[in-house]
Amino acid sequence: MNFKKLVSKYLPAVPVALVLGQMFFSPSCANTTQAPTGGKKDTIPPVIVGLSPLPGAVNVPTHKAQIRITFDEYVQVKDAKSIYLSPPQEKTPKYKMSGKTLIVYFEEDLDPDKTYTLDLTNAIADNNEGNMYPGYTLTFSTGENIDSMVVTGTVRDCNTLQPIKGATVMLYKDLADSAVFLHRPDAAVKTDEWGFFSLRNVADTLYRLYAVMDEGSNNIYDPDNDKVAFIDTVFRPTMVVSDTLPELLKYDMKDTANCMARRSEHELYMFREKPSKQLIVNKERVGIRTAYITFMAPNAQIDSIWVRNVPSNKLILQFNPQRDSLEIWINDRARRQPDTLHAFVDYLKTDTLGKLVPFTEHVRLANGEVISQMRNMRRNVKHEDTTCVVKITAESERVEQYGFEFEFKYPLIYESFDSLSLISINPRQQEEAMKFKVTRDSTNLRKYTLMPEDKLMTGYEYKLKVPWRKFRDVNGFYNDSSEVKVSLPKDDKLSLLTVPLTGVHHTYIVDLLNEKRDRVLRSYNINSDCTLNFPYLKAGKYSIRITEDKNGNGLVETGSLLEHRQPEKVKFYTLRDGSYVLEVLEATELEQNIDIAKLFED
């Protein structure tokens, strides 16, 4: 068993000439053709003991070709999609088991004079314990020679910079922009858990490089369903295949040192393109005076919209920031609204030739469930059904930056923010009125922010009083009275992160994220050198994300494949050790200086 452990540790990277010539062995375990009768649990994956054709074989038949891989124990295919042939065919490889031998076959002929690789990573496990076979790539050719070049890289999400597992990375000799839309690539491979890929044994020629989340599993880019990444330029491989090349070895994905040491020649940032077609894809009546219309692509260009029997001055319309969803409210309580609203939308719609042309679409807004709810509402009226509903948010850790946030369920037709009172209460319980200012959100007419004009103090309590009947919505309902109290955090264990920013030449979005980078905790938009404060942080790990917002619209713009436009750049503040994670200890004041110009200089 000591010998087997030695084999399992070192043989993945060593040619076993006495057995299979150029073949690499994977970690091994004892033969388990019979159920174990006792002893330690088998934790060592299977080992390949036979291959046909051998690695590096040439002149492999193109018709009815089969790959036979024999293991030292009985195995099972855990994931058939992980048996991956490059270049891929229209039909995926098929397989069958014969004893301990996996037979991979193809339903269509291989191309002549071409180098192929068959990858088994994450496909095979042993029968008894389910130990995963770490992977093996077999290279063979239907011609006289084996291609010898390698292309490596990493695929990341364009917003989080997290590595993307399972993306299909594709090389094209066809340098036309349309190639990735029309036919399968000349070489392809899947990314691992680190987002890393190595396209091995490819020809020494010029290529374009793409990565696709291939939802249709057809090895062709579908812009309506797939995410995509690409590099801007045509390139030629420079790395040559070698038996000891670290980028070609199979590693345990938990082996951080070896996985991170692999050379990544290309960085690809994956995004979802804006849909290329513009049309109305959804509409719904969600209330007596409320409906919405959704468009396929953002930035819908509407010339006009009108609703039958509703005066234009009685319509309230609002697009979302991406301009692909339009909310409609009818500010007309004098007349009963019909079960079906007839809206007519004049907008630019994509025609059969793919061009945007003026079009008037008749949109019927009716919903039996909503109508039924309306009728039931009249019989079972709840208090909130006859009230101007508003949600007021004031969080102790965020109130200095975000103030008191108001969000009304429906648009207002009357408001009196001047009648609100904001009171500070000091530690001796003495009250004092505070001045404040109110602004309406530029992207949501139902949202408002109330900001105190004076600096908030630790140890003070702040009380916002909202009197009765000071707001009225499109339904004609008034608000209830309410009161919101908030205080700055008093916990001595909380910390302050200060971030002086220099080299700011246009607009950037600065976000403080949690450790997993999946939630924004604080956010700023900046357009000049400044110092940002992130107070009241609990001990933990954080990341600072900075997004280049060149058009200053406050949105992260996606890329375009045909326009050769990458998504807006995203960078993370990086520590000296290369980590994106910033650890904040209890009760500390931490300062991190960031030169944005230097951060984005590449």
| Position 94 pLDDT exceeds 60 | yes
- Strand 266-270 and strand 149-157: the pairing is parallel
- Please report whether residue 240 resides in a domain: yes
Instruction: Tell whether the model's pLDDT for residue 529 goes beyond 90.
Output: yes
Q: Stretch 206-211: mean pLDDT, rounded?
A: 98
Do the domain assignments include residue 303? no
Q: Which structural domain, as residue segments, surrounds residue 544?
A: 495-599
Dist CA 81 CA 94 (whole Å): 10
- For the chain, the residue count is 602
The CA-atom distances, in angstroms, between 542 and each of 159, 399, 453, 482, 579 are 16, 20, 30, 35, 11
Residue 42 has a pLDDT of 61
Is 183 in the same domain as 246?
Answer: yes
Give the pairing of strands 266-270 and 280-287: unpaired
324 shares its domain with 393: no
CA quadruple 243, 245, 248, 249: dihedral sign: positive
What integer is the mean pLDDT of 592-600? 94
d(CA 200, CA 245): 11
Please name the residue ranges forming H helices in 107-255.
179-182
Q: Look at residue 339 in the predicted model and tell me its pLDDT.
A: 87
Residue 379: pLDDT above 70?
no
| Residue ending a domain, choose from 379, 405, 439 | 379
- Count other C-beta atoms under 10 Å from residue 357's C-beta: 10
Residue written as tokens 């209330």? 287
Q: Bridge partners of 444? A: none
Which stretches within 183-318 are classed as H helix?
256-261
pLDDT for the residue numbered 555:
77
Could you tell me if residue 300 is inside a domain? no
Same domain, 175 and 266: yes
Residues 504 and 467 in one domain: no
- Whether residue 75 is found in the same domain as residue 199: no
CATH code for position 533: 2.60.40
User: What pLDDT does 222 receive?
Assistant: 94
237 and 157 co-located in one domain = yes
What mean pLDDT do residues 118-123 have?
91
Q: What pLDDT score does 369 carry?
A: 62
336 vs 265, residue with greater confidence: 265
> Does a structural domain hold residue 335?
yes
Amino acid at 363: V
Q: Are 68 and 78 in contact (CB under 8 A)?
A: no
Same-domain check for residues 408 and 354: no
Q: Is residue 231 part of a domain?
A: yes
Write down the pLDDT at residue 197.
97
Q: How far apart are CA 372 and CA 367, in angstroms?
A: 9
State the residue for tokens 């992160």: 497
Helical H segments across 442-574, by residue range: none
- The answer to whether residue 312 sits within a structural domain is yes
- With CA atoms as reference, report the closest residue to 72 among 109, 30, 102, 41: 30
For the residues of 456-469, what is the DSSP string, one character each? P-TT-EEEEEE-TT
Terminal Cα-to-Cα distance of the chain (whole angstroms): 51
Claim to verify: residue 14 and residue 108 sit in the same structural domain: yes
DSSP state of 165: T
Least confident among 7-16, 255-264, 393-402, 544-553: 7-16
pLDDT per residue over 228-284, tens digit each? 999 999 999 999 999 899 999 999 899 999 999 999 999 999 999 988 899 999 999
Q: What is the pLDDT of residue 27?
A: 36
Mean pLDDT of the chain: 90
Q: What is the CATH number of the domain that holds 99?
A: 2.60.40.1220
Answer yes or no: do 342 and 408 share one domain. no
24 and 47 inside one domain: yes
**Is 123 in contact with 75 (CB distance < 8 Å)?**
no
User: How far is Cα of residue 467 from the mean position of the Cα atoms in its chain?
Assistant: 43
Please give, one letter per residue, the 3-state secondary structure of 180-194. Answer: HHHCCCCEEEECCCC
What is the average pLDDT across 448-464?
A: 96
Q: DSSP letter string over 352-376?
A: TTS-EEEEEEEEEE--HHHHHHHHH
pLDDT, tens only, 2-55 = 444 443 444 443 333 433 443 433 333 333 334 444 556 566 788 999 999 999
143 — pLDDT class (breaks 50, 70, 90): very high
State the Cα torsion 352-356-358-359 to the nearest 10°: 50
CA distances to 312, 330, 344, 428, 473 from 309, rounded to whole Å, are 9, 11, 12, 60, 21
For the chain, give the percent of residues with pLDDT over 70.
91
Domain CATH for 246: 2.60.40.1120
Domains in the chain: how many in total?
5
Q: DSSP characters for 393-404? A: E--TTTHHHH-E
Q: Return d(Cα 169, Cα 212) in angstroms, integer.
A: 6
The answer on pLDDT for 368 being more than 70 is no
For tokens 């008034």, the residue is 478
In a domain, 162, yes or no: yes
Per-residue pLDDT at 565: 92
Confidence (pLDDT) at 373 = 61
> What confidence tens digit (pLDDT) does each residue in 285-318 have?
988 889 999 999 999 999 999 999 999 999 999 9
CB 45 within 8 Å of CB 131: yes
- Confidence band of 374 (pLDDT split at 50, 70, 90): low
The domain boundary residue, chosen from 458, 487, 516: 487
Q: Using the 3D structure, point to which of 341, 364, 379 is the last residue of a domain.
A: 379
Task: Tell whether pTM > 0.85.
Answer: no
Degrees to nearest 5, angle at CA 480 with 477 and 481: 150
Which DSSP category does 383 fall into?
Answer: G
User: 421-425 and 124-126: which strand pairing?
Assistant: unpaired
pLDDT in tens, 468-489: 999 999 999 999 999 999 999 9
Please check whether residue 279 lies inside any domain of the structure: no
Position 439, amino acid? T
> What region, left, alpha or beta, does residue 194 occupy, with left being phi > 0 and alpha being psi -120 to 50 degrees?
alpha
Token pair 């208090």 in the structure block, residue? 383
The residue with greater pLDDT, 393 or 30, is 393
| Nearest-angstrom CA–CA distance, 249 and 12 | 7
8 and 111 fall within a common domain: yes
Q: How open is the CA angle 581-583-584, to the nearest 5 degrees?
A: 140
pLDDT digits (tens, 9 = 90+) for 576-587: 888 889 999 999
Q: Residues 399, 472: one domain?
A: yes
